[in-house]
Amino acid sequence: MKTVAEGASLKAGTQTHAIVPGKPASALGYNDSMMGPTFRVERGVPVTIPFTNSLTEETNIHWHGLVVPANMDGHPDQLVKAGQSFAYSFTLDQPAAMAWYHPHPHMQTGKQVYMGLAGLFIVDSPEERALKLPSGEFELPLVIQDKRLSAAGAPVYNPTMPEIMVGYMGDTIVVNGVNAPFHPVATRTYRLRLLNGSNGRIYNLALSNGDAFHVIGSDGGLLPAPERVSSLLLAPGERVDLLVDFSKAALNSEVFLQSSAFSGVGSQGSQTFKLVKFMVNRSEADPFKMPASFPALTTLSPASTAKTRKFAIGDAMHGAGGHSNKKSMAGMHTINGKTYDAARIDESVALNSTEIWEFDNSMGDEPHPMHLHGTLFQVVGRSGGRDSLMAHEKGWKDTVLVMPKETVRVIVRFQRSGKFVFHCHNLEHEDDGMMLNYEVK
């Protein structure tokens, strides 16, 4: 992945890419590469990104995790036709964070992302730089995806009815567009900035040597304090910022970032996946010191809320039965019993109001990572399953994992006016209709 500052443009098109090293095959991509360029911009600096659609179908760009004006957000209404261009421009006023971008045409998002259209967008700030976190070659942005590949090495997207129910899973792990990546590392602390860019797979992240690591950030920026854990679940759309200390690892040893089996959802399988291989190949004094304090988090207070909205999410599978083809599956994934209707406004919200949104999966069998456009939120609580928040849920978020049987409450402040979507970020669920419109005015 190339890192670019503001000023770069994007072109979606067909390209040839070797997911399996040495096996170039056809895929989609931005700027002729499987992972688009990584944008790296300073908070508060105006950004303009001219975009050209060189695909043979409609697409657009959604800036996932960036709080941008509604007409720049890549709403499913705002499509760029084949052969057409559009200039995205916005100025970011949010904490430093790692966001990402991907297409959002309704019912095509899953396919377009899976075939290769995605990239990272990093927002920097003076507050974050002051912490002197590992940077340069010691800061590794990693996009984790799972793919199914043809014999030629091309991604294959063709979900069956049951695969739409659970999400389209692959058996080949692809990190930054490449299968079986490795990084030589020194005996020191690295900053790993991870995005789960998969359509449906949840990863249970851990290090193969059993070492714990520090979680320092989440979707929307740094946590108010680091937290040491030995594993964490990362759902599609979520990001996590980790500090991994290789100083105790033996020289010439290999340490894997892996995904271990986890309980709670049968459809996610019980495999262990090796994600990235770190080869500890040189000894170096570790200059990194954990900052004495992290920037304070402005906590949104539930007491100030005007309203609680409840959303029953999940599979309307129960008692429905008898579905024999793909078409009859449409509408199986709903929010409050509804599937996406472009012409309908489902929720109207007052500008600058603060609300509690409650996602109730108590009747569901599948995990749903729920994502809001147009804002960031904080997770207030979870009940019914895991009864606590994970380390990376204690800061700004835009996507939160709601496991089967769980109810999760988030607190949201609506600072941008206009029409936005919120949806499940299992992209098969989203394309199947698990998405609604909300309007802020």
Nearer to ligand C2O, 64 or 397 (CB): 64
Based on the shown chain and the rule CB under 6 A, indicate whether residue 373 belongs to the binding site for ligand C2O: yes
- Asked if residue 425 lies in contact with residue 235, where contact means CB atoms within 8 angstroms, the answer is yes
Q: Which of residues 211-250 bind ligand C2O (CB under 6 A)?
A: 237
CA-to-CA dists, residue 78 to 14, 73, 122, 123, angstroms: 21, 8, 24, 24
Q: Which range touches Cu ion (CB under 5 A), out of 57-65, 141-149, 175-183, 288-296? A: 57-65
Report the C-alpha gap between 379 and 272 in whole angstroms. Answer: 29
Residue carrying the six token digits 């793909």? 326
Residue 144's closest CA among 200, 60, 220?
Answer: 200
Based on the shown chain and the rule CB under 6 A, indicate whether residue 111 belongs to the binding site for ligand C2O: no
- Asked if residue 363 lies in contact with residue 403, where contact means CB atoms within 8 angstroms, the answer is no
Among 17, 43, 104, 214, binds ligand C2O (CB under 6 A): 104
Give me 21's structure tokens.
């090293």
Q: Which of residues 421-440 bind ligand C2O (CB under 6 A)?
A: 421, 423, 425
Binding at 429: pick from ligand C2O, Cu ion, none (beta carbon under 5-8 Å per type): Cu ion
Nearer to Cu ion, 192 or 421 (CB): 421
Nearer to ligand C2O, 133 or 233 (CB): 233
Among 10, 37, 53, 102, binds ligand C2O (CB under 6 A): 102
Amino acid at 122: I
CA–centroid distance for 366 within its chain = 18
Nearer to ligand C2O, 92 or 421 (CB): 421
Minimum distance, C-beta of residue 373 to ligand C2O, in the bound complex (Å) = 6
Minimum distance, C-beta of residue 370 to ligand C2O, in the bound complex (Å) = 11
Give me 360's structure tokens.
């109730």
CA atoms within 13 A on the CB side of 1: 25
| Nearest position to ligand C2O, beta carbon | 64
Report the C-alpha gap between 439 and 90 in whole angstroms. Answer: 19
* φ and ψ at residue 399, rounded to 5 degrees: -140, 130
Report the C-alpha gap between 182 and 276 in whole angstroms. Answer: 6
Binding at 424: pick from Cu ion, ligand C2O, none (beta carbon under 5-8 Å per type): Cu ion
Minimum distance, C-beta of residue 249 to Cu ion, in the bound complex (Å) = 36
- Asked if residue 256 lies in contact with residue 422, where contact means CB atoms within 8 angstroms, the answer is no
Based on the shown chain and the rule CB under 6 A, indicate whether residue 368 belongs to the binding site for ligand C2O: no
Based on the shown chain and the rule CB under 6 A, indicate whether residue 188 belongs to the binding site for ligand C2O: no
Query: Which residues contact ligand C2O by CB under 6 A?
Result: 62, 64, 102, 104, 237, 371, 373, 421, 423, 425
Contact positions vs Cu ion (CB under 5 A): 64, 368, 373, 424, 426, 429
